[in-house]
Amino acid sequence: MPRPSSPPVAHTLKTLDRTLTRFRAAGETVALVPTMGALHAGHLTLVKRAKRKAKRVVVSIFVNPTQFAPNEDFSSYPRTLNDDVAALSELGVDLVWAPSPEVMYPDGFATRVVPEGPALAGLEDAFRPHFFAGVATVVSKLFGQVRPDFAMFGEKDFQQLAVVTRMAADLDLRVKIVPVPIVREKDGLARSSRNVYLSQEERARAPALHRTLQACAKKIAGRRPIAATLAAGRKGLEAEGFAVDYLEARHAETLAPITSRRDGPIRLLVAAKIGTTRLIDNLAV
Ligand code: PAF
């Protein structure tokens, strides 16, 4: 049962509009935290950051079908609305926006936002080609529905952050995208809902991902050649038992490949499997 201090939950555009109109009439700023629910500590960090940024905080909870491929886990994706609302009640969230798929994609829906640039960087898009069009479509709808002044996105999904930032600028969406730094365990492992799938032995090896990024960043900052540094990093990860999808140095905004430190601010990005669990991480140089 939701506790008395639970935030109100809007399921229809009419209810959403009623609350937002009240906020706007009082001249209050609004920050949106877009989520697919199953909230964990990482999401709660986004909410806390949103609280510092704006007077009102709206958390959207919507498991977006358009960002799942047919072979992915859309139907089994956890849907835990009551628990999520309870988790948010301590944090002073003003409204939860939880539309049904029919509200988000009514009969006759026929428009997709298909991002390019960082969405075609050959990183996550190479493994999930449908993903960023689904994200861009739903995020632009969420922005249209909530019309937030700020929207919080975690740096953990760095390519998603770059795609949404580019989209908001390109489409004049008048929302400030706020990047929120990765929350890490004490040993450096980035927090992720997937970490629970790691066996004890895999969990012990998983921090090598962050250690490798740190070591590569240090070498590149110290002017060691980028390609050789990444090749050695990749080898090290493989020796630790990772199957590496990519370990790349990219321009921190465009995600274009980087061959020299002069090419711009550098972000290192990695995706690798340990056992059956695929982990991603990234770090600024
Ligand atoms: O990062 C997520 O949880 C999702 O991709 C998002 C941004 C909520 C869009 O469905």
C-beta separation of 23 from 30 below 8 A: yes
Comparing 17 with 4, the larger pLDDT belongs to 17
Can you name the CATH fold of 197-284?
Pantoate--beta-alanine Ligase; Chain: A,domain 2 (3.30.1300)
Give me the mean pLDDT over the 99-123 stretch: 98
Residue nearest (by alpha carbon) to ligand 1 atom 1: 35
Ligand 1 and 64: CB distance under 6 A: yes
The closest-lying atom of ligand 1 relative to the alpha carbon of residue 63 is 10
Tell the residue nearest (CA) to atom 6 of ligand 1: 35
85: nearest Cα among 76, 77, 93: 93
CA distances in angstroms from 77 to 62, 67, 183, 192, 201, listed in the order given: 11, 12, 23, 15, 26
* Ligand 1 nearest atom to the CA of residue 67, by list position: 10
Q: What is the pLDDT of residue 73?
A: 78
> What residue spans define the domains of the chain?
9-180, 197-284
**41 Cα: distance to centroid of ligand 1 (angstroms):** 15
Topology of domain 9-180, per CATH? Answer: Rossmann fold (3.40.50)
Integer Cα distance of 52 and 15 in angstroms? 25
- What is the reported pTM? 0.95
DSSP conformation letters of 100-148? -HHHHS-TT--------GGGGSSSHHHH-TTHHHHHHHHHHHHHHHH--
The pLDDT value given to residue 192:
87
Cα-Cα-Cα-Cα dihedral of 278, 155, 209, 63, to 10°?
-10
25, two tokens: 């009439």
pLDDT bracket for residue 1 (50, 70, 90): low
Instruction: Looking at the CA of residue 164, tell me the nearest atom of ligand 1.
Output: 7
Cβ of 93 closer than 6 Å to ligand 1, yes or no, is no
* pLDDT tens digits along 230-253: 999 999 999 999 999 999 999 999
**Is the CB of residue 157 below 6 angstroms from any atom belonging to ligand 1?**
yes
Pocket of ligand 1 contains residue 138 by CB under 6 Å: yes
**Residue 277 Cα to ligand 1 middle (Å):** 20
What is the pLDDT averaged over residues 138-143?
98
Task: Give residues with Cβ within 8 angstroms of 173, minimum separation 6.
Answer: 140, 143, 167
In terms of Cα–Cα distance, which of 107, 176, 181, 98 is closest to 142? 98
Question: What confidence tier does 72 reach under pLDDT thresholds 50, 70, 90?
Answer: confident
Please give the pLDDT value at position 78.
87
Mean pLDDT of 16-29: 98
Active site amino acids: 43
Picking from 67-76, 208-217, 245-254, which range would have the lowest pLDDT averaged per residue?
A: 67-76
Mean of per-residue pLDDT scores for the chain:
95
For residue range 112-122, what is the model confidence (pLDDT) as tens digits?
Answer: 999 999 999 99
Output the CA 62–ligand 1 centroid distance in Å: 8
Q: Of 166, 214, 161, whose CA–CA distance to 190 is shortest?
A: 214
